Amino acid sequence: MSTDAARHRPMLWMLLATLVALQFGYPITFAGRGWTLIYLLIYIGVVAFSISRANEDRRRRWPLFVASLSLVGGASWFAAQQDDARAAAAMLAGVGLLQLCLVVTLFGSLMRPPARARTVDLLLVAICAYLLLGGVFGALSALLEHADAGSFLDPNGGALTWQALLYGSYVTLATLGFGDIVPVAPWARSLWSFEAVVGTLFVAVVISRLVGVAGLAARDTRPRDDD
C-alpha cells in the first residue's frame, strides 16, 4: 500500500488534527453560541474521513454512512436549539455512534494491516483510534447523565455538562483518576471501570501489534521512490 498509503495518509493526518481540536478544544463552546457552532463544524473533518473510509471498505459502508447522517442530523438540531436537552442528546448519540464505527474500522486496520502499509500509517491509525475511544465513552457518559441525572458527581459542585464528562472520560481512559468527577450510580461506575480496562488493554494490544510489524523490510525499508 505504499502508493495507497501516500494517497490516504493526508486523510489520516486530517482526522488526527480534527480529533485533537474536538477532544481538547471543547472549552470554546463555553464562549457562546457562535463558538459552539464553529466547534460543531469541525466535525465535518470526521464525517469526511468516515465517508472516505466507507467508499474504501464495502463491509462497513452502510454503518459509516448511517452514523455520519446521524451525526449531521443531531449536530444540526443542536446547533439550532442549543438549550434543548433532546437536541443535545441527539448530537451526543450521533457523535458516539460515528466515533464507535470509526474505532471498529481503524482497530481492524491495526489487527490486519495492509501488506504494504508503513509503520507511520499504523501509528496514525492507533493514535486516532485512541482519541476516538475517549470520545465514545465521553458521549456515553453524557447520555447516561442525561437519562439519569446524578449518575456522576462533581465534588466541587456545579452542573455536569457534556464537556465536563468528555474531560472525565479522558482522565478515566488514561487511568489518571483525579477524582474531580466521580461516578456514583451503579451504571456510571460500571461504564468508567470498563473504560479504564479498555484503555489499558488498547495500549497493551496496540503496542504489541506495532512492535510486531514495525521495521519489517517489506513495510519500511523499500526505496523512497515508492511514496
Is it the case that residue 79 has pLDDT exceeding 70?
yes
Percent of the chain with pLDDT over 70: 89
Is it the case that residue 84 has pLDDT exceeding 60?
yes
- Confidence category of residue 1, pLDDT binned at 50, 70, 90: very low
pTM: 0.89
> Mean pLDDT, to the nearest integer, of 99-128?
86
What value does the mean pLDDT of the chain take? 88
> Mean pLDDT, to the nearest integer, of 79-103?
95
- Confidence category of residue 217, pLDDT binned at 50, 70, 90: very low
153: phi then psi, degrees, rounded to nearest 5? -130, 135
pLDDT in tens, 56-71: 877 778 899 999 999 9
- Confidence category of residue 2, pLDDT binned at 50, 70, 90: very low
Is it the case that residue 134 has pLDDT exceeding 90?
yes
Range list of H helices, the chain = 2-24, 33-42, 44-56, 61-80, 85-111, 119-147, 162-173, 186-213, 217-220
**pLDDT for the residue numbered 120:** 85
Grid cell 488534527 — which residue?
17
Is it the case that residue 48 has pLDDT exceeding 80?
yes
Which residue type sits at 102? Answer: L
Distance separating alpha carbons of residues 221 and 15, to the nearest angstrom: 26
